[in-house]
Chain A
Amino acid sequence: MLSDRPVTPSTLSVKDLPWQILWDKEKCTLCGKCTAVCPVNSIELGVFRKRVFQATLNPEDTPGNLHTIYHGLRQKTDPAYACVGCAMCNMVCPNDAIIPARSDEADKLRMHIDRGGQPRRRGGRRNRAGGVLDQIKFIRISMLTDPALDAGRHEFELRTLLGRILPPEESMKCLTQNGWIPPVREIYPLVIGGMSFGALSPNMWEGLQMGVAYLNEELGMPVRMCTGEGGCPPRLLRSRFLKYVILQIASGYFGWDEIIHALPEMKEDPCAVEIKYGQGAKPGDGGLLMWYKVNKLIAAIRGVPPGVSLPSPPTHQTKYSIEESVAKMIQSMYMAWGFRVPVYPKISGTSTAMAVLNNLTRNPFAAGLAIDGEDGGTGAAYNVSMNHMGHPIASNIRDAYLTLVTVGKQNEIPLFAGGGVGKNGNLAANAAALIMLGASGIQTGKYIMQAAAGCLGSETDRCNICNIGLCPKGITSQDPRLYRRLDPEMVAERVVDVFLSFDTELRKIVAPLGRSTSLPIGMSDALGISDKDAADRLQIKYVI
């Protein structure tokens, strides 16, 4: 910045930014890698003037000045180029000479990234650490009272059911009267939640699907992955791998005409159809795939021309009541595969979830309900939606389960919980807590991004630029120059690692409960928490 540039209200100093680049002149070798890799061009080579004031009292000398120049890294302060803290500079630096550091105070940038009246939008997560899931302990360590199981030695087959499970008499009645009973899938309880082809890069998406296929075909783990709303590549639709896929339909219906065209050529039915009504991370906000991410490839899969923005409205058109929304959509989606594929809705965590659930209990086609809590991640949303809207998953899933208990249907409509599961790294513990609170299965997305692809997001507003196509890890970018940084095979390997280690951890938790084949769904007497209010609210034990 020129030194006499007039300041505007939005003129910021480095101190005002959320991330400050610490650069060590001594270590820097000026190789240029940091500026070449910085996703948002926050740093540049700067020319610095160094003045040496040569003072002397020697009458024969005259005091003077010596000006020299040096070059180094300079952080830009223009809000448009503010450092996002991704630390790719540090990753490429051969001398460890540069690293971003989180400011020690609330930044001023947040008040100035609405230039032109456009509030901040971003990807990522809520940026709040903590949460009740991490506080829940598993307090039933019944080595002697239940059959003692050894997670490392005994055999486990942790599975859950996705689909409507009618009571035996109703099931028989259904079969004899209608010749049909609702389809049910036996799947692994940890599902990769909906992340669209578009939100994710081709390499990321393929890596996830490949990993899922590997888990199924090489390791016998029936892991499922939801497509998110963005269609499904035609080849996948026509492959046997489709059975590992939960197809998502949402308000934009992107890619669904391609799915319909593929129907006659499908070798397998998909695992299920998820109707997305809401996303926990950004309830009330829709999809925001911007035009610069819609290249030829994305366009082909979504069935649109390239270079257009693809907003998924937050609400479905043509649906005006809960009965209409749920019944109409579920019926339509069942028909697509001749009533062979379970169909269930996914909603954001909300205080109105019980109304939806009550409605589903009366609909024999409803194959389950997925509830997505506020702590989930997203590719793009308004800041305000991400930070301030939504419902925590723990009490929502608990209420839902207890509602089912009240109506005696707790084993009939599986609940899937998502939203911040594993956000602090405790995937299995969070998942187990939710299962014992009443979830039949868990959906996770963000953890997979981090663990399988090295997403840099943290709960400190780090990176969070998924929405602008500049993901430095190539996870959410459609630019080959970025997504080729990600090797689908490596992603697939990490998916496998994640599921295997999750499986071991889940065993470690359920083994002391004597569970090796049936999940402890709703087994809330195994849960404790040292927060009395939380214990009361969740109806679990208060332990100190």
Chain B
Amino acid sequence: MDERQYHVISGRENGERLDSRILEELVQSAVERNRTDITVEAYGQHGIGGRLWKTGTTRVHVRVEGHPGQRIGSMGFPNTLIEVMGPASDDVGWLNGGATIVVHGNAANGCCNGMAQGKVYIDGNIGARGMTMTKHNPRFDPPELWVLGSVGDYFGEFMAGGIAVVCGVNPQNPKNILGYRPFVGMVGGKTFFRGPHAGFSEADAKLVPIASSDWAWLRDNLTIYLEHIGKPDLVDELADPQQWQLLEARRPQEKKGKQKRSMRSFREEVWDRELGNGGLIGDLTDLDRSPIPLVTSGELRRFVPVWENRKYAAPCEASCPTGVPVHERWRLIREGRMDEAVDLALAYTPFPATVCGYLCPNPCMHACTRQSAFMAPVDITGLGKASINAGLPELPPLSGNRVAVIGGGPSGISIAWQLRQNGNEAVVYDRSEDLGGKIVSVIPESRIPKDIVVKELDRLKEVIPHVHLQQDIRKSDVEQLREDFDFVVIAVGAQKPRTLPIPGNERAVTALNFLEKAKTGRFSPGKRVVIIGAGNVGCDVAAEAHRLGAEDITLIDIQEPASFGKEREDAEAAGAKFLWPVFTREITADGVVLTNGELLPADTVFVSIGDAPDIGFLPEDVATAHGFVSVNELFQTSDPRIFAIGDVVKLGLLTDAIGAGRVAANAIIDILAGRRPEYSPKKMIDRERIKLEYFDPRITSFDDMDQCGSQCSSCGACRDCGICVAACPQTAISRVDPEEGGDYEYVVDPDRCIGCGFCTGACPCGIWDLVENTPMG
């Protein structure tokens, strides 16, 4: 090429350096005039040899002598060959668009920055940031940079395409021909290099084996390169594939952060090795701390369902002073065991028909859970009335223990009955010829058919010995009984009517007195009666007086009358008027004079302000208070062998008296058996556990007992419906059939249960509870 005729353009004129703009105009003008071989004598001018497109495809050869400035060959075209006859400054081939640039010496920083096409052949080393931001446009061949020696720091930053070849011949730093931190941000292209390096951005680039096609390319182009720099002899030294390595950009899918050790490996090989097995606290605990899922089973459940069948009393049972488990009777009805439902009550009360069916105000029904949602309570009275047919159970033989019961009223009979059922002999002492107390002697027949009472008493008389006392009991009698029997029970009731401390009180008839006489029809009250005290007994008086001919009946009270239920209804049906609050000044022959002076005319004045016990016969060591016998919760008096129950302890309902008999009987039975007696009735179930939504809310009355049974919510007692089994999302619940003589059970498979509480939520009876699992750790 040296034989050609070169058109010389000097970068100096008249001893003055030409401005880069002037030199560019001179070169462009020469090319325009078809000068295709040009020598430029450079004096640091910028961008020499670029943009020489005006010859079209005709080749232009620019030889640069002297000292070219920065960016030689910038924006070079494919037709251009630039040959720098010595070293070059910064940014050789900047934004090269296809020129071939040969530098016969070293090149400074930024070599090939932004190059897109063309070839740059360096016969030496280059400075920092070579081959940065280079591209490969698929429409053209990739750009190439060939460096004979080594490259400076930060080589190939953000390289996006093209091929670099670093031959490692006489490198500036023989230990590292790729410089410091090369290929940061590299996304495309490749680099062949021959010699040692000190690392590169592994996140962006990777070493790959040199394929045979790569080697063929390198081998062929190496020759061309060496020819361009005039050192073809080096080909033998360089053409050893073993000496070369090839580095490529990672594809986006292969990009990775800095190669890091896995945390698992760090934990096992560094952390636990330094700290010991189990890591940070392996010495303090042997608890398993390995990961678990959010939803767990077995011992990892946070909550555990518990089948609390019959743990709590149903509200009916809990509110029944006698303690009859009413819901259990309905269960028996549901199971078609009518007879057992009837007989069951007899275990709790000697008067299942008389009291439950007729006389009791039925606290069980008031307490019924259904009431709490405005639903009609299950009606017990029908079942109560049906209990008249209850048969005596087979009784155990007598054990020899003996208890004296003073008083044959409801409480006395109750305790005697309970004791007998347990095989103890209980002898009832009463002044009356017949057992039954006030049920028989006082309560009007309007409220209880006589045959019912008689039938129930007959049932009992067979098994309860009765001693008919001919006179009032005395202290010495009690002391004798205490000698003769294991226990003595005081159940004499409240027999002493209370009277008013007002003038003329002797004119008044007490309710107790009247009702007793009324039962036998031996009293005529006249047409006009006034009853002082408008409670339920007062109402009974009113009804009885009406039956015996009274027409104008007035009940007066100092406060709103406390009467309710059947008694009140009967009194109102008899036309009784209720006056309150009024206060009596005196009772005269004409009637009752009130404190305001008004006279309530009356043929008979009744006083119905309650009865008090007559306890004068008690031994002195039996403590009393306010006219009643003092007892503990077991109805035991200050003499441990004397119990007291019924109205003699506290005025109450028949069912209170009967219940007291049961509690005291159980205490006596426990003591006789050598056990510490306990009063521990079951707690009442929280009504909110019961799901009344299962029941039809529009039922206001019940057609028959079967319907009652079906509508009973069986609070706290499993109705064996299987809803829990079906509700459990984990099929963890199953029903276990009873073993011989046992009861069925619903059980939870802990390995399936997740502690969701659906069983608790779905159970109509409130049997399932969800409790916290046993604490760990």
Contacts and interface: CB of A to CB of B under 8 A. Distances in A.
A33 B754 contact: yes
Given A49-B697, A217-B270, A300-B284, A32 B754 contact: yes
Question: Which residue, B291, B730, B777, has most C-beta atoms of chain A within 10 A?
Answer: B777
B289 A35 contact: no
Nearest to B302: A481
A481 B730 contact: no
A344 interface: no
B300 to A, nearest CB: 5
Given A32-B730, A210-B266, A487 B696 contact: no
A205 interface: yes
A3 interface: yes
Interface stretch (A166-174, A229-237, A327-335, A374-382): A229-237
Contacts of A236: 275, 280
A446 B177 CA distance: 48
B295 A92 contact: yes
B775 A479 contact: yes
Interface in A375-425: none
A134 interface: no
A235 B281 contact: yes
Given A2-B687, A234-B284, A481-B773, 13 more contacts: A31-B756, A32-B757, A35-B756, A36-B754, A44-B757, A45-B756, A67-B697, A88-B294, A153-B158, A214-B263, A478-B777, A481-B302, A488-B279
Interface of B, secondary structure class, is loop
Contacts of A490: 263, 291
Interface of A: 1-5, 30-37, 41, 44-49, 65, 67, 69, 71, 74, 88, 91-92, 152-153, 155, 202-203, 205-206, 209-210, 213-214, 217-219, 233-236, 239-241, 295-297, 300-301, 478-490, 492-493, 496, 500
Interface string B654-675: 0000000000000000000000
A218 B261 contact: yes
A295 B776 CA distance: 9
Contacts of A37: 294-295
A235 B756 contact: no
A213 B271 contact: yes
A155 B270 CA distance: 27
A210 B287 CA distance: 19
Given A4-B374, A71-B727, A30 B758 contact: yes
A277 B125 CA distance: 62
A34 B727 CA distance: 15
Contacts of B257: 500
Contacts of B691: 47
A479 B776 contact: yes
Nearest to A240: B274
Contacts of B564: none
Contact of B289 (A46, A217, A296, A483): A483
Contact of A71 (B185, B303, B762): B762
B444 interface: no
Contacts of A214: 261, 263, 266, 270
B13 interface: no
14 contacts: A1-B688, A30-B727, A36-B755, A36-B757, A48-B693, A91-B294, A153-B158, A210-B279, A235-B281, A241-B274, A481-B776, A488-B279, A489-B263, A496-B260
Closest 7 CB pairs of A and B: A45-B761, A32-B756, A49-B693, A36-B756, A32-B729, A487-B291, A206-B280
B693 A47 contact: yes
A485 B294 contact: yes
A500 to B, nearest CB: 8
Interface string B42-82: 00000000000000000000000000000000000000000
Contact of B372 (A4, A233, A301): A4
B160 to A, nearest CB: 14
Contacts of A71: 727, 758, 761-762
B373 interface: yes
Interface centre among B294, B760, B762 (most CB of A within 10 A): B294
A2 B713 CA distance: 14
A19 B291 CA distance: 30
B761 A47 contact: yes
B270 A2 contact: no
Contact of A44 (B696, B761, B775): B761
Contact of B271 (A202, A210, A297, A493): A210
Contacts of A482: 302
Contacts of A49: 693-694, 697
A65 B296 contact: no
Nearest to B282: A235
A92 B284 CA distance: 33
A137 to B, nearest CB: 27
Contact of B777 (A32, A67, A296): A296
Contacts of A496: 260, 263
Contact of B373 (A4, A205, A219, A500): A4
B212 interface: no
A206 B274 contact: no
Interface string B336-374: 000000000000000000000000000000000000111
A33, A219, A484 — which one has the most chain B CB atoms within 10 A of its CB? A484
A295 B755 contact: no
B184 interface: yes
A46 B693 CA distance: 10
B55 to A, nearest CB: 39
A217 B261 CA distance: 11
B257 to A, nearest CB: 8
A202 B185 contact: no
Interface in B688-709: 688, 691, 693-694, 696-698
B262 to A, nearest CB: 9
B233 interface: no
A485 B687 CA distance: 36
B283 A235 contact: yes
B736 interface: no
B727 A2 contact: no
B292 interface: yes
A481 B291 CA distance: 10
Given A65-B698, A481-B300, A44 B271 contact: no
Contact of A92 (B258, B292, B294, B373): B294
A296 to B, nearest CB: 7
Contacts of B694: 47, 49, 69
Contact of A45 (B185, B698, B727, B777): B727
Contacts of A483: 289
Nearest to A153: B184
Nearest to A489: B263
B288 interface: yes
Contacts of B266: 210, 213-214, 217-218, 492
A4 B372 CA distance: 6
Nearest to B296: A481
B183 to A, nearest CB: 11
A243 to B, nearest CB: 12
Interface in B741-777: 754-758, 760-762, 764, 773, 775-777
Contacts of B295: 33, 36-37, 92
Contact of B267 (A48, A88, A203, A210): A210
Interface string B461-485: 0000000000000000000000000
Nearest to A301: B284
B757 A206 contact: no
A484 B756 contact: no
A32 B282 CA distance: 35
A301 B283 CA distance: 11
Contacts of A240: 274
A36 B302 CA distance: 8
Contacts of B281: 202, 206, 233, 235, 297, 301
Contacts of A481: 292, 296, 300-302, 773, 776
A46 B280 contact: no
Contacts of B760: 44-45
